[in-house]
């Protein structure tokens, strides 16, 4: 299902491009993050204004000067391991440099057995501890990415025989994302889930559960139901860069 609500597409301004060139950013992620990083490379190839020092490294102490540093952190299905890995990277020098840091959970980090309240509590505790230790550090929060879902009838049949459904998993991802957006300022959130659920015409992809919209991945942005294709990765990359460029 999609709504008729539209969301304006925004381009990078000259001021935002200039600000990005002077920043030190660390982005911790896994596979969907790889898609977004490739989207940044796509944008740099298309936009002659955009010159980022894009480096893959989990040890930022080795890197001098402005850079966009990215690396895999933790293990998929273990958000606690991603928290620990993110903390370790920040402690290697990023905190003392007043950098911008951001980490992204994967859609596989939230499944049938996930305690969303506990997962969010552990994330918010991590954020509070890092901010207390490094007052100049800017943390950009990322909503959990989504997946496409099966038709309602197929989901009902799965539930009937005790199988998990993509709809149930996305409901939990939406729950985490609501908690994130209720807790932190919108200017400090890269709302990846909103990007992924917003069609190219500006409408949203969702299903309804208990009279509430549950947002899901728009099919045109993926070839496998979860990872981002060439269209999706560029849309997500542009929105991420715009968020990072916020003062």
User: Looking at domain 14-244, does it have CATH number 3.40.50.1110?
Assistant: yes
Q: Domain locations in the chain?
A: 14-244
pLDDT number for residue 65: 86
Strands of the 67-72 sheet, one edge to the other? 54-56, 67-72, 24-29, 100-103, 138-142, 189-190
Among the listed residues 238, 243, 241, 213, the one whose alpha carbon sits nearest the alpha carbon of residue 228 = 238
Instruction: Catalogue the long-range contacts made by 61-67 (C-beta closer than 8 Å, 24 or more residues apart).
Output: 61/92, 61/93, 63/24, 65/24, 66/21, 66/22, 66/23, 66/24, 67/24, 67/25
pLDDT attached to residue 10 = 60
162: left (phi over 0), alpha (psi -120 to 50) or beta: left
Instruction: Return the exposure string of 82-106: e unless at least 16 CB atoms fall within 10 Å of the residue's CB, then b.
Output: bbebbbebbebbbbebebbbbbbbb
- Reduced 3-state DSSP string for 13-65: CHHHHHHHHCCEEEEEECHHHHHHHHHHHHHHHHCCCCCCCEEECCCHHHCCC
Degrees, nearest 5: CA angle 126-131-133? 95
pLDDT of res. 5? 35
Low-confidence ranges of the chain (pLDDT < 50): 2-9
């Amino acid at each position: 299902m999609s709504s008729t609500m539209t969301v304006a597409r925004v381009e990078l301004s000259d001021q935002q491009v200039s600000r990005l060139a002077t920043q030190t950013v660390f982005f911790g992620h896994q596979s969907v993050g790889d898609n977004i990083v490739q989207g940044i490379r796509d944008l740099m190839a298309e936009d002659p204004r955009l010159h980022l020092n894009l480096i893959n490294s989990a040890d930022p102490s080795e890197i001098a000067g402005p850079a966009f540093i990215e690396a895999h952190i933790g293990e998929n299905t273990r958000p606690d391991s991603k928290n620990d890995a993110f903390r370790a990277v920040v402690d290697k020098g990023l905190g003392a440099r007043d950098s911008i840091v951001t980490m992204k959970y994967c859609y596989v980090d939230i499944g049938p057995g996930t305690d969303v309240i506990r997962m969010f509590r552990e994330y918010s505790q991590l954020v509070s501890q890092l901010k207390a230790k490094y007052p100049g550090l800017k943390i950009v929060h990322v909503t959990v990415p989504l997946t496409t879902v099966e038709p309602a009838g197929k989901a009902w049949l799965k539930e009937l025989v005790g199988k998990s459904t993509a709809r149930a998993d996305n409901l939990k991802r939406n729950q985490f994302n609501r908690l994130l957006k209720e807790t932190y300022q919108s200017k400090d959130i890269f709302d990846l889930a909103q990007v992924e659920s917003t069609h190219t015409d500006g409408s949203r992809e969702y299903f309804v559960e208990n009279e509430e919209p549950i947002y899901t991945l728009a099919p045109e942005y993926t070839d496998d139901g979860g990872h981002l294709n060439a269209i999706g990765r560029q849309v997500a990359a542009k929105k991420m860069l715009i968020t990072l460029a916020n003062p």
